[in-house]
Each structure stands twice: as C-alpha cells, then as structure tokens.
Amino acid sequence: MKTVGLIFGILSILGMILGFIPCFGAFNWLNIPFAIVGLILSILGYNQEKRINMPTGAAVTGIVLCAIAILLGSLRLILGAGIV
C-alpha cells in the first residue's frame, strides 16, 4: 500500500505541475481527488508498516507529496477562479 501511495504521490505532483500551465488549470479538478486517494493509501500504508515496525519512508514521502499536490492544486484553483 505504501508503494501505491508513493506512486500516486509522484503522479499527483506531476499532475499539479501540469495544472499550473495556463489553460490547463482545470486539470486540478481531476488531480485533487487523485491526490486524496493517494493520501489515504499512504496513511493506510504508514499505519500498517508502523504496526509491524517496518521502515515507513515511502509512506511518509507519499503523504507529503499528496498533501503538497492537494494544497497547491487547491491554491491554483482559488487563484485562477476555478472555485466559485
């Protein structure tokens, strides 16, 4: 689960960067839910790995990447008048 969350985090960061390009800002409407799913998977992977005392680096990285994508994507929608 932590690996899937990390992959979702990387893809959501790439999607967020794509959403910052003019005329592609509406892409954030698809990217933010994608990042939320990645955040949930990363949190589940973190809790699962923490319970059995395994390294949690990939899960933490997925959590951070997805959170950044959600926050900056939402900021882009607010500044670009995407959220009315």
In the chain (84 residues long), the average pLDDT of successive 10-residue segments reads 89 91 84 94 90 85 94 88 61
pTM, two decimal places: 0.87
Task: Supply the pLDDT for residue 24.
Answer: 83
Question: Residue 3's pLDDT is what?
Answer: 87
User: In whole angstroms, what is the distance from residue 70 CA to residue 75 CA?
Assistant: 8
Q: How far apart are CA 10 and CA 57, in angstroms?
A: 14
pLDDT at 81: 66
* pLDDT of amino acid 42: 93
Residues 6+ apart with CB under 8 A from 9: 35, 38, 39, 42, 61, 62, 63, 64, 65, 66, 69
What confidence score (pLDDT) does residue 56 get? 80
Considering only the C-alpha atoms of the chain, give the largest distance between any 2 of them, rounded to a whole number of Å.
46
Q: Residue 13's pLDDT is what?
A: 94
Q: What is the pLDDT of residue 65?
A: 95
Q: Report helix, strand or coil for 15.
A: helix
